[in-house]
Chains A and B, each alone.
Chain A
């Protein structure tokens, strides 16, 4: 990481993008104390999460404010049943049994996986495992959810389902989302902010629409949705009043055209 200056407010939905190895995973780990406590190396500067200085607090405290979900579904599930796994972190934190029960029920409900409660973790599909992983973190009631390429190993359908759930967490439950991803088409319409990282430095930071409109992001390893390319070409041939703002999803695009057609 080089000279990173950043401020993220409550309720934001932030995408961290950039080529493989650009530093997005490293940045994520700064928010829950894995850096500096879990990794060797040198950290210069200060990171504050919910008012806590990450250098002064261990990961097990910070994880209750900023929970993290990883890429590989199998390497973050520890118990043999779904219910036991969701309870795992709370048990480690010595929560009283009633509170654990309550939070496990809540987490199952929020993620929409009540029917998986008694299932063995060995029988779940990839998408289901990731939902359980998120539920087990939500049980700690974090204000922030850090996600490191959570859909990497999932097929498109399961990926979409997972992303829809994550969007829900932000919109309905006001959880701040920081997600590092390569598969951006499904996320872009819902993100309030995109931060593009190149070689450990933040090169672009702002509203996804504006960033994609004004900048060529492909050299940074960021995939531009095909429809945005269509829009770029359209703007060249027709005047700009047809497309007042850049649609980031097929629905938005169609909507713009329909409105124009009515006029």
Chain B
């Protein structure tokens, strides 16, 4: 789980990919996902994954990108097994190489999905994401909620650790007991956490009040997203490639392995 999370964290970078407008990156991720959705053929999926790998190399985040994919392995295996068993339960199906292959392909497609979004998150700061949301006319309330979530999650995580430490030091043993007794043991963790969150919200509300939050309806912004030539070119190229992919899928007779 933590490997997947680490693959989603942002690390600062100055590559071409990092500098692209986040909206363009979002579109690229979506197009890659859509391409993977259109095709089940292994060759095409592999092409998609290879494109993603190349992008991650250009962005110098290859090892972290690979780690996300690797970290998702349990999930992918789960999907494979679930799909295979489902297939078997259908009337007329039997254990054959064909059915294994089909389930594998489905799971493999999932890899392409996850990998495409990983690139986006690895090269976009939450701030840029916030700016993208604002530019797309999302009401500020929601963007602010999103940024605050990113801002305060590490702090809450620390707080949680603090509480766990304190209660363990009072003799609380979380590992012991069956399911039901174990749940009760989490009360000394959850109650203080809730109280802490509530208290913090109060202090935050005060601080935000003195920073004039909500004072004016037409909020201004220090930074704004602007599409550059590079952005437009990248965007156009991606759309063209995607269109080609659709055409091959629906209009050609080429059979693909």
The 8 Å CB contact of B212, one of A38, A81, A83, A92, is: A92
With A80-B126, A94-B218, A100-B220 known to touch, is A34 a contact of B210 (CB < 8 Å)? yes
Q: Which of B151, B155, B204, B212 has the most CB of A within 10 A?
A: B212
Contact A80 B127 (CB under 8 A): yes
Contact B147 A74 (CB under 8 A): no
Interface-located stretch among A59-67, A174-182, A195-203, A239-247:
A59-67
Determine how close the nearest CB of chain A comes to the CB of B234; give it in whole angstroms: 25
The 8 Å CB contact of A93, one of B144, B150, B216, is: B216
Chain A residues with Cβ under 8 A from B206's Cβ? 34, 38, 70
The CA-CA distance from A64 to B1 in the complex, in Å, is 46
With A75-B204, A76-B207, A79-B151 known to touch, is A60 a contact of B126 (CB < 8 Å)? no
The 8 Å CB contact of B222, one of A75, A84, A137, is: A84
The 8 Å CB contact of B219, one of A91, A104, A121, A137, is: A91
The 8 A CB mask of A73-98 against B (1 = contact, 0 = none) is 01111111101100111111111110
Chain A residues with Cβ under 8 A from B151's Cβ? 77-80, 121-122
Contact B127 A91 (CB under 8 A): no
A223: interface (CB < 8 Å): no
Q: Tell me the B115-173 residues at the A interface (CB within 8 Å).
A: 125-127, 144, 147-148, 150-151, 154-155
The 8 Å CB contact of A97, one of B127, B204, B212, B222, is: B222
Chain B residues with Cβ under 8 A from A93's Cβ? 212, 215-216
Chain B residues with Cβ under 8 A from A80's Cβ? 125-127, 147, 150-151
Contact A95 B220 (CB under 8 A): yes
Chain B residues with Cβ under 8 A from A76's Cβ? 203-204, 207, 211
A134: interface (CB < 8 Å): no
Chain B residues with Cβ under 8 A from A67's Cβ? 210
**Size of the chain B interface, CB-CB below 8 angstroms:** 32
B256: interface (CB < 8 Å): no
Of chain A, the residue at the smallest CB distance from B222 is A87
The CA-CA distance from A90 to B218 in the complex, in Å, is 12
Contact A75 B210 (CB under 8 A): no
Contact A84 B127 (CB under 8 A): yes
The 8 Å CB contact of A94, one of B144, B148, B216, is: B216
The CA-CA distance from A100 to B208 in the complex, in Å, is 18
A68: interface (CB < 8 Å): yes
B213: interface (CB < 8 Å): yes
With A34-B206, A83-B222 known to touch, is A74 a contact of B155 (CB < 8 Å)? yes
Chain A residues with Cβ under 8 A from B223's Cβ? 84
A101: interface (CB < 8 Å): yes
Chain A residues with Cβ under 8 A from B154's Cβ? 122
The CA-CA distance from A124 to B147 in the complex, in Å, is 18
- Report which A residues bind B (CB closer than 8 A): 32, 34, 38, 59-60, 63-64, 67-68, 70, 72, 74-81, 83-84, 87-97, 100-101, 104, 121-122, 136-137, 140
20 contacts between A and B (CB under 8 A): A32-B210, A59-B210, A60-B214, A60-B215, A63-B212, A72-B203, A76-B207, A78-B147, A79-B151, A80-B125, A84-B223, A89-B211, A90-B220, A91-B220, A92-B211, A92-B214, A93-B215, A94-B216, A94-B219, A122-B154
